[in-house]
Amino acid sequence: MSLRLNFCGGFLLALCACSCPVLLAAERPNILMIFTDDQGYHDVGCYGSEISTPNIDRLAAEGLKLTEFYAASSICTPSRFGLLTGQFAHRSQDHLLGALMFLSDRDAERGIHSQEVTYVSRLADAGYQTALVGKWHLGHGSKIFWPTKHGFDSFFGHTGGCVDFFTLNYGNQPDWYRGEELVDIEGYATDVITAEAVRVLNAHAGSERPLYLHIAYNAPHFGKGYDLQANSTVNVMQPKPDDLAKVAEIEDPLRRSFAAKVVGMDEGIGRILQRLDDLKMTKNTLVIFMTDHGGDPDYGGSNIPLRGGKATLYEGGLKVPCLIRWPGEIEPGSVSDDVTCAVDFYPTLLEIAGSDLGKQQLDGISLVPVFKGGQLPARPPLVFVTGAHQELSRKSWQAVRDGKWKWVQPPGKQGQLYNLETDPNEKYDVADKYPQIAERLNILVQQQIQ
C-alpha cells in the first residue's frame, strides 16, 4: 500500500485505551459522519459506478479512499449498532442481528440499551455538541432506545428503517421527530435531511465547542409507501421526477430509479460540503462518508464485481465505499487497502477527540495510523453474524475475515473458505484444500456467538 499524509506533530494522540487528556476545543476537529442506506460498492462514482457522484467523489480526491472497508453488518440495524458502539451486534443485549420492524409489537421493546455506550456519548462527555439528522433504526418503541438517550443532544428524523420519501411517514404511520416530539414536515426526505444538516451547521458557526453531526440519509433505500386498496404498506423506490431526468441514459428502469435517488442525495451532500466552505469550517472538519451495507439488487443496487448483496455475508453484502477527508491531516488522493471496518470508528474518533475509551469491550481498532500514512498493526479477525428473520424470508449467516482468509457459512450449506488475496470475488471455495483454516475460523465464530 502506498499512502502518505501530512499529520501535524502537535496533534499526535495517545494510542492506548487508557484515560486520555481532553484536548482544547480549538485542537479538536468537528466531525461530520455521512451514512447512506443500501448503497453498494458499485453505487459510487469513484468506486467504478456508472452513476455520477461528483460531490461524494470530491471526498476521495481531497482525502482518503478505503478499498477494503467493511460495514459492521449486511443489515441495517446491526450495522448501525456496530458503528456506534464499536461492537458487533452479536454482543448486543437484544441480539440485534436483523432489522427492527416498525410495525412489530415485539420489536417495539427491543433496541440499544443504556450499557451499550455509543462513541457519541463519549464525544458529548468530552465537550462535543452532538446532532443526529435522518435515520436511527436502533429502537423506535420505548424512549430508552432513542438517540436522545444515547449521546445525541438533538435528533431530527425517523426512528424506523424507512419512510415514504414524499409523506415522511412509515406507510400511513407518522415517524418524523424533532427531539422526542412528532412533527409535521413537508418535503422530499433527502432534501429535508440536507436542509436540516445545513441548519445545524449554520447554528454551530462560531461556537467554541466542536461539533459531531451524524447525517443518516435513508436514500437510496426504497420508500415505505401505503396501498389504500390493499390497506398495507408497500415498498416503492420513489425517486424525484427531476432526478429521474438526470439519469435518463440508464436503460433499466429499476436501476434508473435507484440512480436518481443517489444523484439527488449526492447533490445534497454537495450543498453540505459547500456550506462547510462558506462557513470556513472545512479546514477543521473531519468528514467521513460510508454506507451501511451492500446494495440490494432487487431494488436497483449494485455490488459489481463482488459476490452477493444486502443481507448476505459474501463480500457484496459487507464491503462498502468509505471516504475520509481531513484537510491538513490526510493527504489528498490517498488510498489504503488495509482491512478496515465500521467498528473501528469508535476508537478512532475518541482518540482524535482525546477522549477516554471507557471499559466497554471493543471489536474495532484505531484507524489513526492509516490517517497518518502508515499501515494498521495485525488486527483481530472480523466476525459477522446475521439472524434469521421470518418476516423478510431471511436465514442466519456467519462469516469471518482474518487476514487474507474469509470463511462464510451460508444458510443450509457447508462452510466455505476463500483466499481474498487471489480470489477477491469469492469464486473458488478452498475449504477442502485448507480444512484446518476453515475449522479454526468456524470455531472462532462459535466461541464468539456463545
- 195 in a domain, yes or no? yes
Task: Please compute the mean of the pLDDT values over residues 169-183 and round it to a whole number.
Answer: 97
Alpha-carbon span 86 to 363, nearest angstrom: 6
The pLDDT of residue 6? 37
Query: Which residue range forms the structural domain that includes residue 204?
Result: 29-378
pLDDT tens-place string over residues 33-68: 999 999 999 999 999 999 999 999 999 999 999 999
Q: Over pLDDT 90: what percentage of the chain?
A: 88
Q: How far is CA 113 from CA 95, 183, 279, in A?
A: 11, 25, 37
Mean pLDDT of the chain: 93
Considering the entire predicted model, what is its pTM? 0.93
If you count them, how many residues does the chain have? Answer: 450
Predicted confidence at residue 20, as pLDDT, reads 40
Residue 13: which pLDDT band, with cuts at 50, 70 and 90? very low
Return the SS3 of 46: helix
Q: What are the residues facing 341 on neighbouring strands?
A: 70
Rounded to 5 degrees, what angle do the CA atoms 160, 108, 296 make? 35
Per-residue pLDDT, 301:
98
Q: What is the pLDDT of residue 3?
A: 43
- Edge-first strand order for the sheet with 30-36 is 181-182, 177-178, 154-158, 129-135, 211-216, 30-36, 285-291, 322-325, 64-66, 334-336
pLDDT in tens, 111-152: 999 999 999 999 999 999 999 999 999 999 999 999 999 999
CB 349 within 8 A of CB 31: yes
Residue 2 lies inside a defined structural domain of this protein: no
Cα 215 from Cα 176, distance rounded (Å): 15
Query: What pLDDT does residue 21 have?
Result: 40
- Cβ contact 54:312 at 8 Å: no
Q: Write out the three cell numbers for 309.
A: 448483496
pLDDT of residue 27: 79
Which cell is 372 given? 497518518
Reference 410, options 420, 402, 418; nearest CA is: 418
pLDDT of residue 333: 97
Q: Which of 169, 167, 151 is nearest to 159 (CA)?
A: 169
Look at residue 22 in the predicted model and tell me its pLDDT.
Answer: 39
Q: Which residues of 382-402 are buried (b: 16+ CB within 10 A; e: fewer)?
A: bbbbbbebeeeebebbbbbbb
Pairing mode of beta strands 177-178, 154-158: antiparallel
pLDDT digits (tens, 9 = 90+) for 250-299: 999 999 999 999 999 999 999 999 999 999 999 999 999 999 999 999 99
Q: What is the pLDDT of residues 427-441, one digit of tens each?
A: 999 999 999 999 999
In-domain check, residue 191: yes
Q: How far apart (Å, rounded) are the C-alpha atoms in residues 448 and 442?
A: 10
Average pLDDT over residues 21-43: 82
Whether the CB-CB separation of 160 and 174 falls below 8 Å is answered with no
**Beta-carbon neighbour count of residue 372 at 10 Å?**
17
Contact 128, 147 (CB under 8 A): no
Using CA atoms, how far apart are residues 261 and 97, in angstroms rounded to an integer? 27
Residues 6+ apart with CB under 8 A from 167: none
φ/ψ of residue 81, rounded to 5: -60, -45
Position with higher pLDDT, 395 vs 233: 233
* 16 found inside a domain: no
22 vs 266, more confident: 266
Q: Does the pLDDT at position 23 exceed 80?
A: no
How many domains does the chain fold into? 1
Residue 404 has pLDDT above 90, yes or no: yes
Residue 12's pLDDT band, with cuts at 50, 70 and 90, is: very low
Grid cell in block for residue 102: 416498525
Rounded to 10°, the helix 253-278/54-61 angle is: 50
Do the domain assignments include residue 204?
Answer: yes
pLDDT in tens, 195-230: 999 999 999 998 999 999 999 999 999 999 999 999
Give domain status of residue 7, yes or no. no
pLDDT > 70? residue 377: yes
Instruction: Report the pLDDT value the prediction gives residue 449, as an integer from 0 to 100.
Output: 84
CATH assignment of the domain containing 273: 3.40.720.10
pLDDT tens, position by position, 324-368: 999 999 999 999 999 999 999 999 999 999 988 877 889 999 999
Q: Looking at the domain assignment, is residue 423 inside a domain?
A: no
